[in-house]
Amino acid sequence: MPNIRLMLWGVFAALLFLNYQTWMHDYAPAVSAVSQSAAGSAAAPTSRLGESVPQATPSAPGAAQSANGSLSSAASPPAPGVAASPSPDSTARMPLHVTTDVLDLDINLKGGELDRADLLQYPLRKDTPNIPVRLLSYEPPATRHLVQSGLTGAAGESAPTHLAEWTAQQNTYALAAGADELRVPLRWSDGQGLTVTKTFVFKRGQYAISLEYDAKNDSASPRTLAAYSQILRHWEHASRSYFDVETYSFKGPAVYDAHKLRDLNVESDSDAKFSATITGGWAASLQHQFVVAVVPAAGQLYRYQLQVLNSEYLLQGTGPQTVVPAGASAQFHEELFVGPKLQSQLAGLDRNLERTVDFGVLTVIAQPLFTGLNWVHKSVGNWGWSIIIVTALIKLLFYPLSQASGRSMAKMRAVGPRMKQIQETFKEDREKLGRAMMDLYKKEKINPLAGCLPMIIQIPVFISFYRVLLESVEMRQAPFLLWINDLSSRDPYFILPLLMGGAMFAQFKLNPAPPDPMQAKIMQFMPLIMTGMMAWFPSGLVLYWLTNTVLSIAQQWRVNQVVEAEAAKQRS
């Protein structure tokens, strides 16, 4: 008993300390940090990462792959660095405006880069439905987020990089009604026989963008080319906040190495110099519920490199060198993904891109949980009811375990008066008290720890539900009933947390009180503590806990009735 009391006090103290730390972290004055940041920004030179042209990856040491599949000698391309060209901010922008049913984009003819991407079906805020999420932006500095792409060439040769000027036949492109595909071709020529057509291919309802290059070499000599794409983004140090669940999602660059996804910390010296050559991988810029990814053609050996300068990072992916003989042509292909982390579309690319949805260490539980929620949602059309139904199914799955636990709890409630009598009799002798209690448990076939087992099992399910609600963009701004208009954010009026706290207090009253008075007092305060903690959690998570508690109350009430009836029958 003393050990259990000590453990409960320890948990209670840890919760209070964590809440105090979180409060101080979120609301402590940050004048000194802001001043340091401002001083650093003033002293730092303007970042020119956007002008960096990557180095191609040879197919073999000192060799480049020919367009017809053979290998030939080729000069090594220049090492990564800053090209001698004007800053993007100093040149006139010539954007093409492209719209589909789900995307509204700007493509800059300088480099053919994606300068802006608005997600038409995802409002930035629930109360501003006409303002969509802007995932890509040219505007400096804090919102800068670009996708740059092109073909890099051998040293001393001009190439259609993201610093080159492209031309287009028109200024606006729109997906026509009834059409399933929109092609936006850009053209570049070096004036010496090399002509490249760069085509963005958009499909109805899709956030994946195919990027196709058709390089035609009409010159008298072979040309060496390699496809690349890179993501340029402004970053700032992010601090987690207990009152903002979005801050618990990773935001930054990531690389998939064909086996696992590696998040790269731009503030880490080792990650900031990341460089690897990978076959079957891809690169991405991650944030809460949205992703920008560059996916090479299957089987391509790509070199990935991260560069960090001041408050920007550049994540590059560069393919192998390909020699285009005189009079021949070559094709290059990449896939871009600019949009929400919709698992159905991410998995549709067949490159494990769905791993950008981070369910954490409990993915083995969270993924089936999401699959079940998604399956139920297809039938009921409401994520709130889906949570309630799946919670009931989980409760049904663990029914035998909770039933056995409930019977043990009911028996403890029934022998409550005898337990109090034993406590009074041996209150001065802890050793005899413990032996007498164990004798009573054995005689009545009671397991005093049985009530803890269902709670222990619920913890991983609870954490998995939290990750699913946090990471699944499918539930973003999803309404339920009445005042609950967004299951992924907190209850605006704190009604659900209060109902949950009331249900937990009712469950406490229904179950037998702990034999130790101090434990009983701590358990009596647990509903209040849980209410305060979960008041800031997503309302969908609170709905799960409330539903689970109500179902537990109903089951325990029924078990108590059955056990009392059995006891009365034995006495008669």
Q: Which CATH number do you get for residue 255?
A: 2.70.98.90
Band the pLDDT of 92: cuts 50, 70, 90: very low
* Average pLDDT estimate for 393-410: 74
163 half-sphere exposure, CB direction, 13 A CA radius: 20
- Strongest mean pLDDT among 389-393, 432-436, 444-448: 389-393
Last residue of a domain, one of 358, 376, 400: 358
Helix (H, G, I), strand (E, B) or coil at 178: coil
- pLDDT given at position 9: 54
* Same domain membership, residue 161 and residue 271: yes
- Give the model's pLDDT for residue 454: 63
Same domain, 343 and 232: yes
* pLDDT tens digits for range 115-127: 999 999 999 888 8
Confirm whether 81 is domain-assigned.
no
Sign of the torsion formed by the C-alpha atoms of 22, 24, 26 and 27: positive
* Percentage of the chain lying above the pLDDT 70 cut: 72
Neighbours of 349 (CB within 10 A): 17
Which residues constitute the domain of residue 505? Answer: 364-415+451-571
Is residue 10 packed enough to be buried (19+ CB in 10 Å), middle (13-18) or exposed (0-12)?
Answer: exposed
- The least confident of 75-79, 215-219, 318-322, 388-392 is 75-79
Residues 492 and 553 in one domain: yes
Give the pLDDT mean for 290-316: 92
> Cα separations (Å) of 464 from 287, 302, 434, 471?
19, 34, 38, 10
Shared domain for 500 and 406, answered yes or no, is yes
Residue 340 lies in a domain: yes
- Examine the domain organization and report whether 221 and 324 are in the same domain: yes
Are 338 and 480 contained in the same domain?
A: no
Is the domain of 298 the same as that of 229? yes
For 519-535, what is the mean pLDDT? 78
- Please check whether residue 426 is in contact with residue 441, taking contact to mean a CB–CB distance below 8 angstroms: no
DSSP 3-state of 93 = coil
Sort strands 181-189 and 194-203 into parallel, antiparallel or unpaired.
antiparallel
Asked whether the predicted pLDDT for residue 2 surpasses 60, the reply is no
Task: Please check whether residues 169 and 293 belong to one and the same domain.
Answer: yes
* Sign of the torsion formed by the C-alpha atoms of 167, 169, 175 and 180: negative
Q: Which of 339, 365, 345, 340 has its CA nearest to residue 461?
A: 365
pLDDT of residue 410: 65
Report percent pLDDT > 90 for the chain: 40
261 CB neighbour count, 10 Å cutoff: 18
Of 358, 391, 424, the residue at which a domain comes to its end is 358
Tell the burial category of 518 from Cβ atoms under 10 Å away from its Cβ (0-12, 13-18, 19+). middle
| Joined tokens for residue 332 | 């290059």
Domain count along the chain: 2
Residue 358 corresponds to which amino acid? D
**526 band by pLDDT with thresholds 50, 70 and 90:** confident
Q: With respect to residue 273, please indicate whether it lies within any of the assigned structural domains.
A: yes
Rounded Cα gap, residues 129 and 111, in angstroms: 33
Q: Tell me whether residue 403 is in a domain.
A: yes
User: Is residue 531 pLDDT above 80, yes or no?
Assistant: yes
Across all residues in the chain, what is the average pLDDT?
Answer: 79
Which pTM does this prediction carry? Answer: 0.78
pLDDT of residue 173: 96
Q: Is residue 42, in this structure, part of any structural domain at all?
A: no
pLDDT band (50, 70, 90) for residue 409: low
Statement to judge: residues 403 and 306 lie in one domain: no
* Closest alpha carbon to 163 in 113, 226, 229, 213: 113
Amino acid 31: pLDDT: 32
| One domain, residues 254 and 329 | yes
Is residue 340's pLDDT more than 60? yes
> Would you place residue 528 in the very low, low, confident or very high pLDDT band (cuts 50, 70, 90)?
confident
Strand partners, 185: 199
Check residues 448 and 81 and name the one with the higher pLDDT.
Answer: 448
Q: Does residue 205 form part of some domain?
A: yes
- Residue 172 falls inside a structural domain: yes
What's residue 519's pLDDT? 64
Over range 485-509, report the average pLDDT: 88
Q: Could you tell me the pLDDT band of residue 36, with boundaries at 50, 70 and 90? A: very low
Same domain, 192 and 340: yes
Same domain, 317 and 258: yes
Amino acid 241: pLDDT: 62
CA distance linking residue 389 with residue 211, whole number of Å: 42
Q: Is residue 88 included in any domain, yes or no?
A: no
Say if residue 231's pLDDT is above 60: yes
pLDDT at residue 93, rounded to an integer: 56
Choose between 306 and 358: higher pLDDT: 306
pLDDT at residue 77 in the model: 37
The last residue of a domain, from among 293, 325, 358: 358
Q: What's the whole-number mean pLDDT along residues 140-155?
A: 88
Indicate if the pLDDT at residue 202 is higher than 50: yes
CA distance 149 to 51: 12
> Residue 27 pLDDT > 50, yes or no?
no
**Between 415 and 79, the higher pLDDT residue:** 415
Say if residue 141 is preceded by a cis peptide, omega within 30 of 0: yes
**What is the per-residue pLDDT for 78?**
38
